[in-house]
Amino acid sequence: MYVRALELVDFRSYQRVVVELDPGPCVLVGPNGVGKTNLVEALGYIATLESHRVATDAPLVRFGAARAVVRCAVLHDERELLIELSIEPGKANKARLGRSPVTRTRDILGALKLVLFAPEDLSLVRGDPSERRRYLDELLQQRQPRFAGVRADYDRVLKQRNALLRSAYLARKTGGSRGGDLSTLDVWDTHLARHGAQLVRARLDLVAGLAPHVAKAYAAVSASRSDARIAYSPSIELRDDVEQALLEKLAEVRKQEIERGVTLAGPHRDDLTLTLGELPAKGYASHGESWSYALALRLAAYDLLRDDGVEPVLVLDDVFAELDVGRRERLADLVGGASQVIVTCAVDDDVPRSLRGARYEVGGGEVRRV
């Protein structure tokens, strides 16, 4: 699989730009701030329906424009598919596959399989659990797009349940004798447990598949003898019947939930534990080790998607400037044979020679093949 062409209209800094890309290595070169990352961010959004830089859609639309449009032509097994996404803040986004509109935007998930590594990924190691949950869920949705619906259902139920708990909490704080009406809480518990159990089981299977790839990728990138291990850390005691375990946990913490006005159990409270040797990576890994671990997580995702039978597009956004020479060369050796590697950089010399394929200069709102 590779991206043959990318067109942006009113996306970020671009009024309109069209880029024709080649298979193999493609290097986007230009000073910082000229829009290199905007190009790969658009591809990442097509693949995951999320930006790796911002949490909302509004910043993706060029100032003064009502909407942004991203179009890309993807080649797989000599067949070309056009994917189009219209981003309209405050409204429902719209999408097309092969020029035909789709019922739901999430129906385009899986059309472009892509793994993007960027400086922001250091938060996978050093950041909050929400960053690692997002990593798992985005990968899960690329492998099995139906889980976008499961995740959306869970988030909807969680929002409703939290609103109910919050209203009861505020009623009690303002002197309400009964502390708000919680008569429907059992119903929300049932919905939360049903959707949550699907998500937990899927994440557990995903982590089991990822673990050996993470260990292998970390060893290859870092040339270290320390073992990199990952494990899923749930907020419930795991057993065969995950749904029942979640229901029992919700019953156990209900008093605290009512006192605090928030849901305290479920996959939104889970984490992906990262260890190096016998120590947790967060707080103990050096800067170089943290970079290697973050890279290993993305490379593991790439390998897992490739094991599914489709080689994804790999994007390395301003990565080589952050790596020492040894890590640069080892990373280049690992990814040099990919069907398409899109690299962004400010300085040509940061990119190892083995990845210097098609070259594009970015600047002034334009992208020029050189």
Q: 23 a known binding residue? A: no
Q: 37 a known binding residue? A: yes
Q: 90 a known binding residue? A: no
Question: CA–CA separation, 260 vs 310, rounded Å?
Answer: 46
Order across the sheet with 68-76: list the strands.
Answer: 14-20, 2-11, 68-76, 79-87, 94-97, 100-101
Question: What separation in angstroms does the CA of 226 have from each of 123, 128, 219, 279, 322?
Answer: 20, 23, 8, 10, 21
Tokens (6 digits) for 302: 């790439």
Q: 32 a known binding residue? A: yes
Q: 105 a known binding residue? A: no
Question: CA–CA separation, 32 vs 158, rounded Å?
Answer: 40
Cβ neighbours of 92 (radius 10 Å): 8
Q: 36 a known binding residue? A: yes
What φ, ψ does residue 256 adopt, rounded to 5°?
-65, -35
Q: Provide the CA 166 distance to its chain's centre, in angstroms.
A: 29
Cβ neighbours of 65 (radius 10 Å): 12
Q: 101 a known binding residue? A: no
The annotation places the binding site for ATP at 30-37
The annotation places the binding site at 30-37
